Amino acid sequence: MSDIKSSIDPGFPLWMVASGMFLLTLLITYPIAYIAVIIYMQDHISWFGTPDLRELTWAIQTFFGLATLFPTIALLYSLLMISYGITKEFFEKNGGQPLDHHEKEMFESFLNEASNWCGKLTAKNIRKYDAHDINAWALGTVDAGYMSFSSATLKLPQNEIKGIFFHELGHLVYGDTRKMAFTRAFQDALVSFVLITPLKDIFRYTIFILTQLVVMKISRDREYRADSFALQADDTDGIIYALYSIKDSDTALVNYKDYDVYMFSLKVDTESLFATHPPLGYRISKLIKK
């Protein structure tokens, strides 16, 4: 593990991601606010054919104020959620049952092998839940994170469980849960702002679709990145064999809410712009080429 530590880039720190998304959202909302002022003033012309100064002042203060307020609320809400939403109590309520002695020893061996990356993550932060599909999820970061594996996953060969473990660990290392929380919050801020401006009639049915395409692309890229992490961190290629097991399985995957947890896989058969996960075949082929 120490040999590959320098080759794995954990990406931008969280504060930089949050600041970047905040500024990017402002770069979008401010031009929209400017256009909104122009459209609004078309119906508020004085008797002399000039803009009504009182209405112009109101429009500038309102639209630019809201263009700043919505991203600010998104930023504060995201910070609140990642600070208080991912708790031990939440995990104990939603993570399933504790591991048995054999399973605990197995994950402790994985954690020992990944000691350079695991932070404060221990086997106590790993649970299991009853499900017939091969899946797992991770939530948080390596210093304040949790994992849960389906009962079907724990029946796989140990090298495949290990590959899935390292995939989920990749999500924790990269802070994907928190980064996606910011992404979705700023998406909601942008959509909500547009729909209260005079541009709502133009973008009523397209603004969410356009922003959702971006969010889903980010989500798929993070799945590829977690797969790559697992491939580099685990010399048994367990992640590839695990993906083959899912692909060959006749059991349909449960339709988990992607914004609740970062699931290991969704059984997508075609390349979909609106899918949170890439098709299994694509994931396997990218790993084999590495």
pLDDT of 195 reads 94
Q: Provide the angle, in degrees to the nearest 10, between the axes of the packed helices 176-194 and 207-233.
A: 170
CA 34 to chain centre: 31
At residue 220, what are phi and psi to the nearest 5 degrees? -65, -40
Model confidence pLDDT, tens digit, residues 169-208: 999 999 898 889 899 999 999 999 999 999 998 888 899 9
Q: Which two tokens stand for residue 24?
A: 């990017």
Mean pLDDT across the chain, nearest whole number?
85
Average pLDDT for 285-290:
84
Q: How far apart are CA 204 and CA 201, in angstroms?
A: 5
Of 3, 155, 181, 159, the C-alpha closest to 77 is 181
Report how far residue 66's alpha carbon sits from residue 26's, in angstroms, rounded to the nearest whole number: 10
Q: Rounded to an integer, what distance in angstroms lies between the CA atom of residue 75 and that of residue 139? A: 19
pLDDT at 266 (0 to 100): 54
